[in-house]
Amino acid sequence: MAGVQTAVALREQGFTGTVTLIGAEPHQPYDRPPLSKAVLLGTAEDSALDVDFAALGIELRLGCEVSGLRPADHELDTETGPVPYDVLVVATGAEPVRLPGAGGVPGVHLLRTLDDAERLRPVLARRQDVVVVGAGWIGAEFATAAREAGCAVTVVEAAGRPLAEALPAEVAAPMTAWYGDAGVELRTHARVERVEPGAVVLDDGSRLPADAVLVGIGARPATAWLAGSGIELGRYGEVAADAGLTTSVPDVYAVGDCASFPSQRYGERLLVHHWDNALQGPRTVAANIVGAATGEPPAVYDPVPYFWSEQFGRFVQYAGHHADADRTVWRGEAEGPAWTVCWLRGSRLVALLAVGRPRDLAQGRRLIEAGTAMDGTLLADPTRPLKSARAA
Ligand SMILES: Cc1cc2nc3c(=O)[nH]c(=O)nc-3n(C[C@H](O)[C@H](O)[C@H](O)COP(=O)(O)OP(=O)(O)OC[C@H]3O[C@@H](n4cnc5c(N)ncnc54)[C@H](O)[C@@H]3O)c2cc1C
């Protein structure tokens, strides 16, 4: 996503040099969000991005893995030989974390690539019994699709609730009920001891029969190939980019799931693993590549992060970053079908999560961007448009 968007943005912004897009996967570049939704259920064949690369003069080198970067030579190493560059954009995304000891056990799956989704389709089509390890975004979306297909689904989560890393307990609490309502058995505080062919064994000794196991326990930046390049990495192994998405090595940028950036807005370094970041970041990268040639001051990437998830018949959307918030205001009943939680710092809206309330999300995102002060009492009234709850 971020690689394609960078190439397209470069052309949109008037870049006339050669653009080469190198990717390890053999498929035409595609979108990942449908992989845990329509592609998995077979209602969409694939999710190829609708970009005419030839017309844009973008050379695609697919099925080509990059194994190293030699900045002093301005060259990449690939299995078919070195590739020179004037400017390099690192957009290698993230890789799913594997479950220790489960590699090679038949029936154990990850869900990151189109090939992964194609391997999982027959599991759903045959309505197999599945165990999902991890109640995060991928686990919830896969469980949703598997239930829709008629599979028996058990979700095993080491923490005490779903989305424990992403959301505070009070916000994730209502989501626990979504699993049961959808006919999914959710087992929290449950650690996997081992996976055997046909079963997942938990550390309390219970044995969960499983024709297939989906491991959804997170993703890590795909940066191992940068070892020895001198590119500075951050605490999660991601490329530590600066505010203009340049790296510690000259002429090298980094964007998307593989890179973090310092957010002036939130006063901390952010590593965002969501689609919108892979759409917006590339525009800054392209502007800075084009601008460097003409001596423009660098553009700064400082977004209000945004993502969505479709799970258990609900459309969940999030904007902002709530780490430094000091209170929450709820709009609507958490037990109901539609509600929003707003995070405030002082009177400023800094983040919100909307379930089935896309207008709240759209209006809230703009208010977060503008740093608008809100009236907490008006904000708590779900019948009022969110934008009408500005402080007087
Ligand atoms: C199943 C699934 C569902 C998702 N659903 C949502 C959603 O609903 N909402 C949302 O906001 N986000 C969603 N996301 C997240 C979103 O898709 C990612 O944030 C986005 O794809 C990141 O784009 P990227 O370009 O940084 O990385 P990627 O899309 O992962 O692209 C990186 C590419 O680099 C290639 N590559 C890696 N290493 C090398 C190498 N050494 N040499 C050559 N090529 C290499 C990889 O093969 C890959 O094709 C989902 C992700 C997945 C996996």
In SS3 terms, 54-95 reads as HHHCEEEEECCCEEEEEHHHCEEEECCEEEECCCEEECCCEE
**The predicted structure's pLDDT at residue 45:** 80
Give me the mean pLDDT over the 346-364 stretch: 97
**The predicted structure's pLDDT at residue 174:** 92
Give me the mean pLDDT over the 85-94 stretch: 98
- Which residue's alpha carbon is at the smallest distance from atom 37 of ligand 1? 92
Output the average pLDDT for the chain: 96
| 46 has pLDDT over 90 | no
Write down the pTM of the prediction.
0.96
| 222 has pLDDT over 90 | yes
- Which residue's alpha carbon is at the smallest distance from atom 53 of ligand 1? 112
- Which residue's alpha carbon is at the smallest distance from atom 36 of ligand 1? 92
Residue labelled with tokens 């901390």: 268
**The predicted structure's pLDDT at residue 82:** 98
Does 10 sit in the ligand 1 pocket, CB within 6 Å? no
* Interatomic CA distance for residues 339 and 171, integer angstroms: 11
Does 36 sit in the ligand 1 pocket, CB within 6 Å? yes
Atom of ligand 1 nearest to the CA of 35: 1
Between the alpha carbon of residue 219 and those of residues 63, 207, 301, 367, the distances in Å are 22, 26, 23, 31
**The predicted structure's pLDDT at residue 152:** 98
Give me the mean pLDDT over the 180-190 stretch: 97
Between the alpha carbon of residue 340 and those of residues 4, 80, 164, 363, the distances in Å are 33, 51, 18, 12
- The amino acid occupying position 20 is T
pLDDT band at 54 (very low <50, low <70, confident <90, very high): very high
Give me the mean pLDDT over the 263-279 stretch: 97
The residues pairing with 259 across neighbouring beta strands, listed in sequence order, are: 239
Give me the mean pLDDT over the 252-277 stretch: 97
Atom of ligand 1 nearest to the CA of 67: 41
pLDDT in tens, 18-37: 999 999 999 999 999 999 99
Distance of CA 44 to the CA centre of its chain: 20
Does 317 sit in the ligand 1 pocket, CB within 6 Å? no
pLDDT band at 294 (very low <50, low <70, confident <90, very high): confident
**The predicted structure's pLDDT at residue 103:** 86
Q: Ligand 1 centre from 93 Cα, in Å?
A: 5
Helix or strand or coil: residue 332?
coil
* Interatomic CA distance for residues 366 and 372, integer angstroms: 9
> Could you tell me the two tokens for 59?
């050379």
